Structure 1
Amino acid sequence: MIARDIGTGRPLVLVHGFGVDHRIMLPLESTFKTLAWRRIYLDLPWTGNGSPSSAASAQDVADGVVEEIRNRLGDEPFALLGNSFGGMIARHVAHTLKNQVLGLATLAPVFTAAHEDRILPDRRVIQQDPGLAEGMASARDTADFRDVAVLQTAGTYAAFSAYVVPGLRGANQALMDEIAAAYALDDEPESAHPEPFAAPSLHIFGRQDHVTGYEDGWAHREHYPRGTFSVLDAAGHNLHLERPELVSALIRDWLERIEDCPGSP
């Protein structure tokens, strides 16, 4: 399940979203320069490095991540950063292993599993380069990009092609369909563990994210008393590709808050 293990220091486990692989998280690497954190990138079961037979539901995926962390890190303190579906998984892990979790960050996270129950903004494109279509590689890539991108520029398309498309094309579709049919966790982490999550946290949402939105996550703000909640304008579901510098600054602030936190495990 571990796809890449980079650097030294305190462990930071990164969990990607649904239908892609760990590469969608790699643009965050520039954030960690000069910071003493060991980055552990996971690949979930539908990816090339995953274990397809081990998961048939979101709960199976979450339990598998908990098991992987226990096997790899034992009782060593660590932090978590999850993107989209990986944000839901990270929330589960953070509450299950709360006593050893230094902090939790989520990017465009899933807080409400059922899509029809989410509070979502209308689909909107903020910026669209007129000549972009000429440089697009294929109709399929173009459609996938246009379906999600809020900033449709040469730069965001290049990042999408490099970090998102490989995971999309390599995914096990049959397994994804099976997990999608059981996409919700058995219990919401904040309900299963109602005591507030006291470690430093960060939750970043896109103002124009029509996939997971921001209202559902914002509704949990009181559960995270050390939480920064940021809703970024001109940002959709792949907000770390569209607003990389701002996302990087927020993540660095979160990691610095962890390092300064006297109550860290």
Structure 2
Amino acid sequence: MEIRVGQVAVHAVEHGAGRPVLVLHGAGVDHREAEACFEPALDGAAGLRRIYPDLPGMGRTPAPASLRSADDLVDTLLRFADEVTDGTAYLLVGHSAGAYFAQAMAARRPERVAGLALVCPLLPGVREVPEHRVVVGAGDIGDDAFRGYFVIQTPEMLERYRRYVAPAAALVDEAALERIGARGALTPEPPPAPAYPGPTVVVAGRLDSTVGHAAAVDLVHHYPHASLAVVDDAGHALPHEQPELLRALLAEWLTRVERSL
């Protein structure tokens, strides 16, 4: 589907029916990675309408010149959420940069967000980022991007990378992302924006050589109803590498969301 939000035509795919779940992918990819990782984790839960947009400048969503900052991008996502949810409180799931934007959305419209899930979140306080280390495989398959992203380097993970990650590279509007990234700090920066009070889960990879896990651990003190998992043998590609654990963590989060409604 395509939803026009001001000058931006947001492309998205959706599955299921019920309470909306907006799933935001990271930088340099498109909805296909989020869909491949989170559909197995969410499609078993009844009554969820899972919505996977391409973020502006990626996939099939353009980023017109009017989008000049991360704040502009968040405003676009909030208006997109208003359009596709028709006023219904929705769940927010974000991976990497998608989690960065999801935090800002929840901070600005907490009454509209029924639950918040942050997976390998990009955060302004990133620190103590470990060196990349392969834990499964010889490190001799795939291209440099694959070898720098996955810590579990098996033929199965390489196939997932080739199907769901690599194809998006050709669709990235690098100039647009550079323009938006030049003003990439959100206002207010999350955190210390006002704490989102709803059910929250934070999942980080102990071996994440992109954003680390130390800053993610801090979030458990910021969100009053947050569960935290730091997963060993997982890097920034945690949703690919630890699907069963991710499914269990999201299932527990969904239980808390339903209890809070």
TM-score w.r.t. the length of structure 2 is: 0.90
Specify the alignment match of 1:30 in structure 2.
40
User: Residue type of the partner of 1:121?
Assistant: P
Q: CA deviation at 1:179?
A: 2.2
Specify the alignment match of 1:118 in structure 2.
127
Identity of aligned residues (%): 33
Specify the alignment match of 1:143 in structure 2.
144
1:252 aligns with 2:251: yes
Q: CA deviation at 1:129?
A: 4.1
The 3-state SS of whatever aligns with 1:228 is: strand
Instruction: Count how many residue pairs are aligned between Structure 1 and Structure 2.
Output: 249
The 3-state SS of whatever aligns with 1:220 is: helix
User: Residue type of the partner of 1:89?
Assistant: F
Task: Give me the CA root mean square deviation.
Answer: 1.7
User: Residue type of the partner of 1:33?
Assistant: D
Structure 1 Cα separation of the partners of residues 254 and 59 of structure 2? 30
Specify the alignment match of 1:72 in structure 2.
84
1:39 aligns with 2:50: yes
1:52-63 equivalences in 2 (<5 Å):
52-53=63-64, 54-63=66-75
Q: CA deviation at 1:74?
A: 3.6
Q: CA deviation at 1:227?
A: 0.8
Structure 1 Cα separation of the partners of residues 145 and 191 of structure 2? 32
In structure 1, list runs of 5 or more residues that go unmatched: 137-141
The 3-state SS of whatever aligns with 1:110 is: coil
Structure 2 Cα separation of the partners of residues 184 and 150 of structure 1? 29
Check conservation: 1:2, 1:40, Cα contact below 8 A.
no
Structure 1 Cα separation of the partners of residues 85 and 41 of structure 2? 23
1:82 aligns with 2:94: yes
Q: CA deviation at 1:208?
A: 0.4
Check conservation: 2:202, 2:219, Cα contact below 8 A.
no
Check conservation: 2:67, 2:180, Cα contact below 8 A.
yes
1:4 aligns with 2:13: yes
User: Residue type of the partner of 2:42?
Assistant: F
Deviations 1:192-234 (A, max 9, x none): 32xx322111111000001111111211212212111111101
The 3-state SS of whatever aligns with 2:258 is: helix
Structure 2 Cα separation of the partners of residues 188 and 59 of structure 1? 10
User: Residue type of the partner of 1:72?
Assistant: V
Q: CA deviation at 1:109?
A: 0.6
